[in-house]
Structure 1
Amino acid sequence: MPAFDAAAEFDRQVRTLNALGYPALSGRTEEQFAELVAPLRAEAVAHAGTPDEADAPYDPAATGRVPFVLVVTRALAPIERTMPLTALHGGKLPGFVDRTFEPGSLERFVATEEAEPPGRDGVHLLFDVERGEEFCGVVPNDAMAAVAERGRSLLTIEEGVALMTHAPRILVKNKCFSLGGSRSGDRRVPAIWISRKAPKLGWCWAGNPHTWLGMASAGARRV
């Protein structure tokens, strides 16, 4: 794997979003979308990691970590439209939202106060992202408490979709992840795992552990 280049990675993520049609989803041309995200490039380069981390091989599947991802929130593109744009690394089947999300329920899964996206433009950067496989087999409530004690933040659904969009290699068998930064006021915790050879956005109970489901978190959000 090549060493990580934050500037090149930011440009690649913008190209990925363009290729998937995110400008049109957000009601913008590619030029307008480029103008929207351009201010984040300098932030990505400045905060993507320490020099030692920047020199390390970039391999999300092996490390379970990504230096940063460019996130487009539901304020610009609905989850129902963005989740099907994801796929497993090397896979062809589109991601999907599980039918156990009853009609209208996704709108109720909103960011917690601690995971509230910064800014108001509908785009932000998420830094030092971990899929959190150390929490596989741990009760989600306990995993979320441990993440908070470390001063880290749980990922929202949109951030989980962004992670899958930009780093699909991070989702592998028995190392999937919950997204505790989006809650609906009940005991359900959203999660992304592999089903029918594709990424699936579903949910699990906050008190029920799963051996194949960790807890994703991030070090910071910036605009």
Structure 2
Amino acid sequence: MFVAQQLDRLLELGLEEMSGRSEDELLDLVGGELLCGPGLLVVHPSVVPAARLAPLLSRAGKPGFVVSDMTDLAAFSPIPEVEVPDSPLYVVTGVERGDELGDVSPDDALPRIVAAGRTPLTISEGICWLIQQPQMLEPGRCFMTIGSRKVKKGRLDKRTPAIWISGGSERDGGKAVDGAPKVGWCWSGNRHDWLGMASATGRCAPQPHSTVR
């Protein structure tokens, strides 16, 4: 899917209102060269926070949601190994779900991802990917976005963001969210064979002039 098609979808979902920018401004931010190319279009979290993007996810006719015990999602920022472009919109290339790392902890997966010349996805990037390609979230085949972590008292919080499918527990909201995309977290030292480690080959910013406000 070309970047231009992805921008059209985000506009249909209300990106103008959410970002406070007009369609023309958003088009200008991306630039013609990137619009005509492939890659994943990502909305920078300083423009639209991940928690506001999450409800744009959809599966089985149900919108995505953030788990109730992750009210601090906005405090999760890129880890030192991840350099996110300082641009309202940017493009990520070569995105993969990372199923082969499904039984590896985030702590152990990170050096393997870096050694392979790849970069782990952030939570905003993971959400943007599933907005455009919802079929990539499958039962038994979901993923963590270990490129985002929260710094707590000078150290990384042990939680790593992840996106999977709600089983409709009472804690989540019951049957109303059964089967819905769920933004949650897992411990950085734990392994889950059904949660891959999503990564990409790189990130690039559009040429334009504008910077994140």
Interval of TM-score (by shorter of Structure 1 and Structure 2): 0.7 to 0.9
Secondary structure of 2:135's partner?
helix
Structure with the higher fraction of residues in helix conformation = 1
Specify every segment of 5 or more residues in structure 1 that has no aligned partner in the other structure, as ranges: 1-5, 49-67
2:81 match: 114
Report the CA distance between 1:10 and its aligned residue.
1.9
RCO greater where, 1 or 2, for CA within 8 Å and sep 6 or more?
2
Report the CA distance between 1:116 and its aligned residue.
2.5
2:169 match: none
Secondary structure of 2:163's partner?
strand
Letter in 2 for 1:197: G
Matched, 1:219 2:185: no
Whole-angstrom distance in 1 between the partners of 2:79 and 2:33: 23
Which of 69, 74, 88 is equivalent to 1:100? Answer: 69
Matched, 1:142 2:138: no
Q: Kindly provide the CA deviation profile for residues 40-82 of structure 1, in whole angstroms up to 9, marking residues without a partner as x.
A: 526x62xx4xxxxxxxxxxxxxxxxxxx210001111122211
Q: Report if aligned partners of 1:182, 1:189 keep a CA contact under 8 Å in 2.
A: yes
Secondary structure of 1:114's partner?
coil
Letter in 2 for 1:201: V
Rate the CA distance shift 1:202–1:143 in 2: closer, same or farther, 3 A: same
Whole-angstrom distance in 2 between the partners of 1:152 and 1:10: 21
Q: Report if aligned partners of 2:29, 2:88 keep a CA contact under 8 Å in 1.
A: no
Specify every segment of 5 or more residues in structure 2 that has no aligned partner in the other structure, as ranges: 151-155, 167-177, 206-213
Q: Report if aligned partners of 1:40, 1:125 keep a CA contact under 8 Å in 2.
A: no
Report the CA distance between 1:85 and its aligned residue.
0.6
Q: Report if aligned partners of 2:122, 2:145 keep a CA contact under 8 Å in 1.
A: yes
Letter in 1 for 2:182: K
Q: For structure 1, which segment, 213-222 or 138-147, has the greater mean C-alpha deviation from structure 2 after superposition?
A: 138-147
2:8 match: 15
Q: Report if aligned partners of 1:26, 1:77 keep a CA contact under 8 Å in 2.
A: yes
TM-score by length of 1: 0.80
